Structure 1
Amino acid sequence: MLDTALSWKHRATYYTCRQKVQQVQEALMKGKDDLSLCPYCVECTQYTQAQKKVKFICGHGYHLHCINRWFQDHPNSVGSCPVCEGEKSSRGDAPRDEAQTFILHSLHRRFPTIITQECIESWEGCNAELWLTVLKCPRYSSLFSKVFTRE
């Protein structure tokens, strides 16, 4: 029964990840000038109260608790927009779209077994529409297969 529950959780996590990637794709297609997603948590900011949002001069907007969490983890970056000053391309060159790259890294932090480091390396610089077409659910490793392989 536990194995069935874990298998269900594995699939549910994949579908949540897929839904997030689809939200990113739709938000980026609408336009990068006023992105309605917090790049840190990849959740909608459109209906968040004004006092619970932060918008930098560059135009990138975040939930207040997300930007505070980012600054706690990156104390040398306090006052700087995480998208503009944050994570750069793993290839060493400047990314084509900083917001898209930052969101990709955020998705990796949230779903590391689904959006792996290999995904980041191959998806950076690609249109977000491609992400959804190549996103795959990793194979679930049953508890039973682990038990039988130990013996």
Structure 2
Amino acid sequence: MEQFEAYSLLFADSFVSNLVIGFQNELIFHSMKMFGGYNSLIMLLVATCASLSSNAVNYIFGRIVLNIFYASKNEQNILRYKNLAKLYYTYEIFILFLMAFAFWGSFISLFSGFFKTKFLKFLSICSLAKICYYVLTLYYIL
């Protein structure tokens, strides 16, 4: 397999696995690490870019869900939303750092859009969390 094909496959796999509808793990990243012969820095950059792209899509999905939620105009649900939003904002930074974990991260990015987290704050914490995850995976964890 050509290098470009391998990195393209890595991008596609990381993108799909970080979507809220995807339930697979990042298999290609771990396979490339195990077989070796690939540049670790390029792997890190490609996987992080794919992860950020899919998390941005999840964030947009969350904003769409929020608009649908507000269109229902159910006062009791809106009151519950405001109470949940207060709880979310209390632990927002900690919750956003949990996006490093593959399965939960996609749902957290969806909820970040739902609770109107600032997009630049969301992307910066998301990128930091994912870079930490990939570096730990590449160099320290089996």
Greater relative CO (CA pairs within 8 A, separation 6+): 2
Q: Which has the higher helix share?
A: 2
TM-score, scaled to structure 2: 0.32
